[in-house]
Structure 1
Amino acid sequence: DGIVRWVKKKTGPAAAPLADKDALDAAEKGAEVAVVAYFKELKGAEYDAFVKVAQKSEDASFFETTDAAVGKAAGLSSPGVAIITNFEGEGRNAVAVKGKATEDSITALINSEKLPPTIEFNDKNSGKIFGAGVEKQVLLIANSQELKKDAALFKAFRAVAGPFKGKLVFVTVPLDGGHSEPVVSFFGVKEEATPAVVGFDMSNNKKFKMPEGKMTEKAVKAFAQEFLDGKLKPEYKSAPVPEEPTDGGVSIIVGKNFDKIVKDAAKDVLLEVYAPWCGHCKQLDPIYKKLAKRFAKIDSVVIAKMDGTENEHPDVDVKGFPTIVFYPAAKDAKPITFEGGDRSLKALTKFVKKHAATKFELPKKSKDDKEEDEDKEDHSEL
């Protein structure tokens, strides 16, 4: 539908004419979201604003008429612009732009009405969800039985969604629908902990989780309102604290022990954030372990790593894997990101020595270390 709309918009008029109510009925059958302008004459500031939006918007089909009966059928008792939606399972709904029709007011109403009250996360809808023009999303992760229209949980979620239209996007994520894996992984939601309600703010990539407990309409509404008002604390993923604290001399960091180890003001900490599937991370692994061996006798320095697919922290900004960050031994010290593709033992050693708050003397290098220093192979980020 979107491609057809785009082709028609580029090859024809921005809005199609509606001669009578039959034409309106036909238009509605072919469009989930129809924007209808009714003016006695197709000119003037409000009509011009409508045309400008129609020329730019890819979110709806646009129609125009000078027939009062058509305007009335579209929900317009007087000249203006209305949006008619016909979402599956929701029935027909017509809403008019309040007051004078401007580019901003028409666009705002389209953003508010172009999605159904709740929308399922899948390949077909992902573009609509992320392109809704609404930064915050509330997601219900549950099995398909709990997401049926007559299920108590879905009905509570659906009831909350209506009043937040245009402010929050309410998304359902069926665990058995074939598209849930990236969502549950992103939020760190375990299947045994579902159903779960989470929030996502696209403006800053922060995630929020509704406290576990009975998911009543009242509880979901309170979560949604506090999320909208910015009163919730972000949620950060963490794997369990490992029983074995090191791997080849490298300290293992998870979200739960990050502050204790990485933010220790008495230690200079070099942290590698990696992904298990990352080829460059695998190449770096033996070099990083040699680095840990080299600094093993320097009590003020910690060489550490964290699985970035399982753990998060507000002081780590990961743009790719591996990301290497140095945290100086000082309270409130700003982290320093390692830049460049040369991740050799020599380059990493220089980086630590340059930025360490506590000065130290390294023991003489072993033969293996000297050989590694000669390795200038580029280990660029993915």
Structure 2
Amino acid sequence: MFTAKPTSRSVFFSLLLLLLLAIFTATSLSSEPTAPDEDSGDLGDLQELIALDEEADLSSEGGRHESKDKPSGAELLSRAHRIVLELNSDNTKSAIDEAKNQEIVIWRKKKTGAPVLRINSINEATGILQKHSMFVVGLFEGFEGPDYEEYKKAAQIDNEIQFIETSSAEILKVLFPDAKPAKLFLGLVKSEPEKYTSFEGTFNANEILQFLEDNKFPLVSVLTELNSAKVFSSASKLQVFVFAEPDAFKELLEPLQGVAKEYKSKIMLIYADIRDDNLVKPFLTLFGLEEPKDIVVIAFNYTIGSKYLLESTATPRSIKGFCLGVLDGTVPPYYKSQPAPDNKDASILAVVGKTFDDLILNSQKNILLEVHTPWCITCDTTSKQMEKLAKHFKGLENLVFARIDASENEHPKLQVDDYPALLFYSARDKSNPIKFPTKSSLKDLATLINKRLKEQDAEIKDEL
């Protein structure tokens, strides 16, 4: 059932809120390097940790705050573009206001008066062409019958597009020159290269509304500051973005229009000039592409919250294959990663997206992983605790300390919303990491580690 949708503006700000949760994610110790066997021994070995913890508390007093959630996914894009719009010129803001006002006028007319505007003369038809950049027109003989009722029902549900009706074939030709002679007709008119689109389905309100949803954008939308909110609000389809300089994109346009026409109900193709930092930079940052290629192709599936990157050379054939692969699931989601670091002699392993499987999930050892971000205020305190714990437990063959910067690295198995985070991956079960409280003292954290190691030893003994 096709139901009424909120205006593009309301969807845009809803998207802002919904996507706020996503996808970005040195003092020496003199205790023994082995894990104590008795609880009393644990406490004795941790006295220096307690003293160091109290010392750290004094030095950081008053500096602890709640960590900030990491923005990610299309939220980063939407928020960045909203800032662009807010900071832009008065002329830009006036144009946006004018577009919003036109939507409000259409909505108000539909809700307070007739949802369909009847045109009875050539002059009125000419006025419609001058006033509306997009409208749907229907030809009905006598303005009655089930087809006409379904048309009116669709007009009442839709909040965005002006619906026009006429009984004159002559007037229809003014509004829709490509219309074929018929007693019944429906078509969408846009101020785009593919200006006229005829409806070929059954006159049913849901089918009419789906037709409008599939065709209201051009086959390839050019992303601008004026239409960015409306583009981002249309998140029901797979969105494929092509970033290139205009001359390079000319060679891609025609074949991409063919792809868009064939899959218009599933794919929305969008182009932006790669030189336009205001529009494109947020996307590149989201994918970790600081030095992009001449042509960048990315995609977003908002239904499942995944993003994709075409990693081969962008050609008409490869872009089509990329689109179809994302649709059928053969192209895997993209997770950004820093280069693999050299962890030789490191007391705390630096983990990145591409090494997460090897160093964490496939490791035969227990792992305590610190997940941090640059904007997290309390991450520094947790990092210092990790360094002290790594020093304290140095020498244990079955325990590894590691950390990952979630702002630069992603992995499908690493889902963290609050930073910092401490995750204990047991050597016996890497699929269910145990979350340690980051506000714990050094003593408490060390006690938790010892507890987990002893539980594991007991399980092994029981199996033997």
Question: TM-score normalised to the size of structure 2?
Answer: 0.66
State the alpha-carbon separation in 2 of the partners of residues 44 and 324 from structure 1.
Answer: 66
**Equivalent residue runs for 1:19-168 within 5 Å:** 19-71=120-172, 73-74=175-176, 75=179, 77-87=182-192, 90=193, 92-96=195-199, 98-147=200-249, 151-168=250-267
Query: Shift of residue 283 of structure 1?
Result: 4.5
> Does 2:244 correspond to 1:169?
no
Amino acid at match of 2:103: R
Q: Name the residue aligned to 2:384.
A: 286
The aligned amino acid for 1:252 is A
Give the corresponding residue for 2:331. 232
Q: Work out the CA distance in 1 between the residues paired with 2:354 and 2:342.
A: 13
Deviations 1:3-51 (A, max 9, x none): 4222441354333222234433432333333122333344554444433
What residue is the counterpart of 1:333 in the other structure?
A: 431
In structure 2, relative to structure 1, the CA distance for the partners of 1:343 and 1:184 (3 Å cut) is farther
The 1:298–1:332 alpha-carbon spacing in structure 2 relative to 1, beyond 3 Å, is closer
Q: Which moved more, 1:51-60 or 1:135-144?
A: 51-60
- Which amino acid in 1 is paired with 2:268? V
Following superposition, the deviation at residue 134 of structure 1 comes to 3.1
Distance 1:264 1:62, change over 3 A: same
The 1:175–1:19 alpha-carbon spacing in structure 2 relative to 1, beyond 3 Å, is: same
Letter in 1 for 2:231: I
- The partner residue of 2:371 within 248, 273, 280 is 273
Do the aligned partners of 1:274 and 1:306 also contact (CA within 8 Å) in 2? yes
Give 3-state SS (helix, strand or coil) of 1:279's partner. coil
Q: For residues 341 and 57 of structure 1, do their structure 2 counterparts lie closer, same or farther at Cα, with a shift above 3 Å needed?
A: farther
CA contact (8 A) 1:36 1:62 kept: yes
| CA gap 1:227/1:359 in 2 versus in 1, 3 angstroms | closer
Q: Tell me if the contact between 1:292 and 1:303 (Cα under 8 Å) persists in the aligned partners.
A: yes
SS state at 1:224 partner: helix
1:253 matches 2:351:
yes
The SS at the match of 2:129 is helix
> In the alignment, is the contact (CA less than 8 A) between 1:34 and 1:62 conserved in 2?
yes
Distance 1:120 1:99, change over 3 A: closer
Secondary structure in 1 aligned to 2:165? strand
| Equivalent residue letter for 2:220 | T
Percent identity over the alignment? Answer: 25
Superposed CA offset, 1:329-359 (max 9, x none) = 2256333455x77455456556555656864
Distance 1:52 1:255, change over 3 A: same
- State how far apart, in whole Å, the 2-side matches of 1:138 and 1:50 are: 32
Higher RCO (CA 8 Å, separation ≥ 6 residues): 2
After TM superposition, give the deviation of residue 261 of structure 1 in Å.
Answer: 1.0
Alpha-carbon separation, structure 1, partners of 2:380 and 2:185: 62
8 Å CA contact 2:235–2:302 kept in 1: the answer is: no
2:295 match: 195
Supply the distance in 2 between the matched residues of 1:350 and 1:78 (Cα, whole angstroms): 82
Deviations 1:60-91 (A, max 9, x none): 2222334343345433733253211222xx15
Q: Which of 306, 311, 318 is residue 206 of structure 1 equivalent to?
A: 306
CA spacing shift, 1:274–1:54, aligned 2, 3 Å: farther
| Corresponding letter in the other structure for 2:375 | W
CA contact (8 A) 2:370 2:383 kept: no
* SS of equivalent to 1:226: helix
**How many equivalent pairs are there?**
352
Secondary structure in 2 matching 1:37:
strand
CA RMSD for the aligned pairs?
A: 3.1
Structure 2, gaps ≥5 residues long: 1-98, 459-464
Cα deviation for residue 183 of structure 1 reads 0.3
The residue number in structure 1 matching 2:60 is: none
Distance, in Å, in 2 between the alignment partners of 1:288 and 1:318 is 18
| Contact 2:274–2:280 (CA under 8 A) maintained in structure 1 | yes
Give the 3 Å change call, closer, same or farther, for CA 341–284 of structure 1 in structure 2. Answer: closer
What is the letter of the counterpart of residue 299 of structure 1? E
- Structure 1 unmatched runs, 5+: 362-382
TM-score (norm 1): 0.79
Contact 1:111 1:133 in 2 (8 A): no
With over 3 angstroms needed to count, the CA separation of the structure-2 counterparts of 1:334 and 1:359, relative to structure 1, is: closer
Tell me, in whole angstroms, the C-alpha distance in 2 between the residues paired with 1:70 and 1:348: 78
Q: Which amino acid aligns with 2:183?
A: S
Q: CA deviation at 1:161?
A: 2.9
Paired residue type of 2:186: V
